[in-house]
Structure 1
Amino acid sequence: MAPAKRGAVAEKAEKNKGTEAEQPKHSGHRKRLRERYAGAGPDAFADYELLELILFSSFPRQDTKPLAKTLIKQFGNFAGVVSAGIPALMTAGLSLNAAVTLTSVRDAALRLARQEVLNRPVIASWQKLLDYVNAAMMHEKTEHFRLLFLDKKNALIADEVQQQGTVDSAPVYPREVVKRALELSATALILVHNHPSGDPTPSRADIEMTRAIADAARAVNIVVHDHLIVARASTASFKSLGLL
């Protein structure tokens, strides 16, 4: 009986040895990365390290470090990668599964940021509002015109993209802006749009459009508090610039 038992143990040991040999060489790196994240959090991670951590689930048997570094190089930084969009990520060589995983990171972050400001007075949480609109719009490739609707306590009650345009314009109609504000029983507005060019300086068309909306809103006792222009490096405020 004893020799048979030793044979069974030896057989099991050989099987375990074979299983260990089949483990990907990068499995230890993944374990260490997860442990470091659990202990130190994302602030201790470089952009590519956080990205490769997210890519683990899409590439269970592949070293994701080279891929993460390639994506960072192509799109500029972590935010650029997760904001690139599914078509651009797939063009860069990712599968649909991996592209959806990365895009969902940005969408989840935006939803969290939106919930941080929704139904709260915007004056008391102005920096959070700026953080949200910057995250939502700074990486857009075309102009988007966004409306933030406020109630009588200046709490944000709705956030809507009204128009999407080209790389340098998005058509906006004051009557439609006021109509939507009345539908939501809003008493104040903050206008937001982005400049994909990277320069947040208001154009003459921006100034004229803002004044037209403010005049139309004033006629029905709705106040336009500000117009923010979002660019990648900075954000311009019409109120701070004395344009509103």
Structure 2
Amino acid sequence: MDGPLREEKRARPEARKAPIFPSTGPSGHRQRMRWRVLQRGASSLADYEILEMLLFPGVPRRDTKPLAKALLNHFGSLAAVLGASEDALRAAGVGPANCKLLGLVPSIADRMGTPDSVCRTDIGSWDNLLAYCDTHYAGLPAGSLRVLFLDSRNQLLEDEAVPADGLTAESARGQMVSPALEKAQQDSPVRQAVAGILQRALALHASALITVRLAEPSFTPDRQMAADSLFVQALLKNAPLLTVELHDHLVLQNGAWRSFRLVGQDW
């Protein structure tokens, strides 16, 4: 019979070749979920759907939705599922491979929440130390006293100013000190400054120190070294008691420098 009905019957087999869904099995469902994540982000997924996707690798040919919902019912929340022990997950029906995978998620989250390692300045050579001083101290006022706190690899933890009260060039000229005067200086600004530096070193877990003085214009570097002698000696005496090493005391002035350690002055 040649009519519209005949033409319609001929068209039906062609229509059946294009199903509504590419797949009705688990693989099609997984493909659609992946598409959602790619198009809308993981925030578009419900908790059970996130858990479904986490279970995909360990359950390659089976729908993971029933297990995901059962786990949420059993443990109460997604966080509780991810924080559960391997034994608890196995008892709830999770296979060995997925137990290992789910156990990785909290560790990954902790790692992502940890700040990246800080890239610290290496002060382990004279060239590095002097280059650092040239770069960072060019604009500081004369008379400034800095302390570099270093770790066990001579990498810079902090660079901080030492309060100038009582530690200026005029207040300590490195003269011979009598025992009575030395005892009287126990409460002096020098002692207080040393105590503050060492307390800060403990707080930073510093292994070593370098102190740097920018010499006064009216002082030669050598005279400035003599003026700082009491301060340096107090650090040398007390730092080892806290397992902190004083590497050196440096005096800088207009590109010239002096080192207590190299000069050997009371070191």
Q: TM-score per shorter chain, which class?
A: 0.3 to 0.5
TM-score under structure 1 length normalisation: 0.46
TM-score under structure 2 length normalisation: 0.42
